[in-house]
């Protein structure tokens, strides 16, 4: 904060400069002026915040100087210093908005108090302006959010004019009728590593965009909503792409920008925002950096939404084997294939990710671990969020399912028998020799056979046959699948042999069983 002393008496002028330690008061002392005329010449360039001036000087007096200074710099604080206790001068000074009126006979501490009072007045004005600016910006943000979300009916005419007028007053070309076009761009930035710096990074992008473009900005969590005034050579797609690349080079980061359509006024901003928001939702699918418009979404008609039977079988085998490395590889490969599908959309990808996790839950329920689907579901929800990789989220959910199963099994007395019975149920469509299953649970076949019968109450072959018949009964009552296909699904290549075995266990042929009431099942 700067102070200038004006006095035509050299002794007074120099005395005021040396008697008081202005720097200690937080004030920078500008070289003093010997006359009002000299002061007026220097003030436009030196812009003092506080003026300490004599009243009676040769030429222009202090009252006239004060009026000129107030005209040029309205916020300047003026302290009048006079050798005359003249009430008329005091009245003029007070009417002119003087901060204080002191006699030259005043003690240094009185002059110091007057200077500090002037300094505080300036600080108070600045704080008031900051508060008013914050309030105005907050009102503008609220109005802007109303417009972007389609609430133009809730915005007053004054609020609409605030934004229109702000953009209209910016440098640039407007149409002859005073109207102009605008569009919404949603921007995010990455590349500074630590997530704690995300706010700083988007703030830096905000600052640079405000300098480069005629726009209003609205920080929105991890992204920046920008309302651009369209100008030739500045806000077309090619120009904006260059500016976004330039910002990335300046800040050493990657920027992703979704460009909404051009609209004719504030009342239509919601349409531009909706389009930009939709494009932004494709971040990661269409790329992680660059400028994107609706043209980039034309081929996005939708990808797969369901996990296939083969994928579900592969997943079940991995979950059963407790192979975290294999599960990670399978998840990465399977999910990445859907992410890279040129037809995928956020909604179809979300549905597919959900179906993979649901497949894991179905497997967990089939193995009868006792886990509640609701309890584990709260831990395994997949959120489509491009703050990270979707395959990481899916792996996290599937790992929780795999851990729940194996923790439950490991608590039982003969955990390997439990794993064996679950393995059998998951592989009924394949040959299931005792040696094969004993090998899966790392047990000697003879020992395995003895413990299996003791724990299940059935021989190994009886258990496998029972499970195959149970599965066949479920398919007959629950699906329209042909009997021959059901036979294959439960491990029988010969349909005649399957029919004999099924009638032996249920008292009905497969066709008769399908036509019987479901209550008869058992």
| pTM attached to this predicted model | 0.58
Region of residue 247 (left: phi > 0; alpha: psi -120 to 50; beta: else): alpha
Beta strands in 323-475 (DSSP E): none
Report the pLDDT value the prediction gives residue 468, as an integer from 0 to 100: 93
Give the pLDDT confidence score for residue 155 in this predicted structure: 57
Predicted local distance difference test score (pLDDT) of residue 521: 43
Closest alpha carbon to 55 in 10, 25, 88, 30:
88
- Mean pLDDT value of segment 197-209: 88
| Counts of helices then strands in the chain (DSSP H, E) | 21, 10
Mean local confidence (pLDDT), 375-383: 50
Q: Taking CA 336 as the corner, what is the angle to CA 333 and CA 342, rounded to the nearest 5 degrees?
A: 135
pLDDT in tens, 252-290: 999 999 999 988 877 788 889 999 999 999 998 888 889
Question: Parallel, antiparallel, or unpaired for β 182-190 and 100-103?
Answer: unpaired
Closest by Cα among 314, 273, 279 to 293? 279
pLDDT value of residue 178:
54
Structure confidence by residue, pLDDT tens digits, 92-109: 666 667 888 888 888 999
pLDDT at 522 over 60: no
Over residues 17-58, the pLDDT tens digits come to: 999 999 999 999 999 999 999 999 999 999 999 999 988 888
The rounded distance, in Å, linking the Cα atoms of 247 and 292 is 16
Given a cut of 50, whether residue 449 has pLDDT beyond it is yes
Residue 156 has pLDDT above 80, yes or no: no
Contact 345, 285 (CB under 8 A): yes
Residue 4 forms beta bridges with which residues?
Answer: 51
Average pLDDT over residues 108-128: 91
Interatomic CA distance for residues 36 and 43, integer angstroms = 10
pLDDT at residue 164, as a whole number: 66
Structural domains present in the chain: 2-124 (3.40.50.2300), 152-170+179-294 (3.30.70.270), 309-411 (no CATH), 417-520 (1.10.10.60)
**pLDDT, tens only, 276-326:** 999 999 998 888 889 999 999 998 999 999 999 889 889 988 998 888 999
Q: Check residue 160 and give its pLDDT.
A: 65
3-state secondary structure of 264: coil
The model's pLDDT over 405-440, given as tens digits with 9 standing for 90+, comes to: 887 776 666 778 888 888 888 889 888 999 999 988
Out of 156-160, 181-185, 213-217, least confident range: 156-160
Q: With left for phi above 0 and alpha for psi between -120 and 50, is residue 175 left, alpha or beta?
A: beta
Scored b (16 or more CB within 10 A) or e, 376-397 reads bbeebebeeebeeebbebbbeb
**Residue that the structure tokens 């133009």 belong to:** 152
Coil, helix or strand at residue 216: strand
Per-residue pLDDT at 519 exceeds 60: no
Chain-wide mean pLDDT for the chain? 83
How far from chain centre, in Å, is Cα 469?
52
Q: Quick check: helix, strand or coil at residue 46?
A: helix
Q: What's the CA gap between 284 and 208, in Å, rounded?
A: 24
């Amino acid at each position: 904060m700067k102070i200038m002393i004006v006095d035509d008496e050299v002794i007074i002028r120099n005395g005021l400069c040396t008697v008081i330690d202005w720097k200690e008061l937080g004030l920078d002392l500008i070289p003093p002026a010997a006359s009002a005329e000299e002061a007026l010449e220097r003030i436009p360039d030196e812009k003092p915040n506080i003026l300490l001036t004599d009243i009676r000087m040769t030429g222009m007096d202090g009252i006239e100087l004060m009026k000129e200074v107030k005209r040029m710099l309205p916020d300047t604080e003026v302290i009048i210093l006079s050798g005359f206790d003249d009430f008329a001068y005091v009245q003029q000074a007070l009417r002119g908005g003087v901060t204080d009126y002191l006699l030259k006979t005043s003690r240094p501490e009185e002059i110091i108090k007057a200077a500090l009072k002037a300094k505080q007045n300036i600080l108070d004005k600045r704080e008031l302006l900051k508060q008013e600016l914050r309030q105005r910006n907050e009102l503008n943000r609220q109005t802007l959010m109303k417009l972007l979300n389609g609430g133009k009916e809730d915005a007053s005419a004054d609020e609409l004019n605030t934004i229109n007028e702000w953009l209209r007053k910016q440098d640039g070309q407007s149409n002859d009728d005073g109207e102009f076009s605008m569009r919404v761009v949603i921007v995010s930035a990455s590349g500074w590593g630590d997530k704690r710096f995300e706010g700083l990074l988007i703030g830096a992008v905000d600052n640079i965009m405000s300098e480069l473009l005629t726009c209003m900005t609205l920080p929105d969590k991890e992204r920046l909503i920008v309302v651009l005034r369209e100008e030739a050579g500045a806000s077309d797609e090619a120009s904006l792409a260059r500016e976004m690349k330039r910002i990335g080079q300046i800040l050493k980061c990657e920027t992703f920008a979704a460009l909404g359509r051009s609209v004719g006024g504030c009342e239509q901003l919601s349409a531009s925002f909706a389009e930009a928001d939709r494009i932004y939702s494709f971040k990661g699918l269409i790329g992680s950096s660059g400028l994107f418009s609706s043209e980039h979404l034309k081929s996005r008609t939708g990808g797969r939404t369901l996990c296939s039977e083969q994928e579900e079988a592969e997943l079940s085998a991995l979950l059963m084997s407790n192979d975290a490395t294999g599960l990670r590889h399978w998840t990465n490969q399977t999910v990445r294939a859907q992410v890279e599908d040129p037809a995928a959309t956020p909604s179809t990808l979300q549905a597919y990710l959900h179906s993979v996790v649901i497949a894991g839950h179905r497997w967990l329920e089939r193995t009868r671990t006792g886990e509640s689907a609701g309890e584990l579901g709260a831990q395994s929800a997949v959120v489509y969020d491009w703050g990270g990789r979707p395959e990481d989220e899916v792996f996290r959910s599937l790992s929780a399912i795999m851990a729940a199963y194996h923790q439950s099994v490991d608590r039982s007395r003969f955990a390997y028998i439990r794993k064996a019975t679950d393995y059998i149920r998951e592989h009924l469509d394949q040959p299931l020799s005792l040696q094969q299953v004993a090998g899966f649970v790392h047990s000697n076949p003879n020992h395995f056979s003895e413990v299996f019968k003791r724990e299940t109450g059935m021989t190994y072959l009886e258990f496998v046959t029972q499970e195959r018949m149970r599965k066949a009964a479920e398919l007959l009552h629950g699906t329209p699948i042909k009997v021959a296909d059901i036979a294959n699904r439960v491990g029988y290549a010969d349909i005649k042999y399957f029919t004999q075995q099924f009638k032996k266990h249920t008292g009905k042929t497969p066709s008769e069983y399908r036509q019987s009431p479901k209550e008869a099942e058992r």
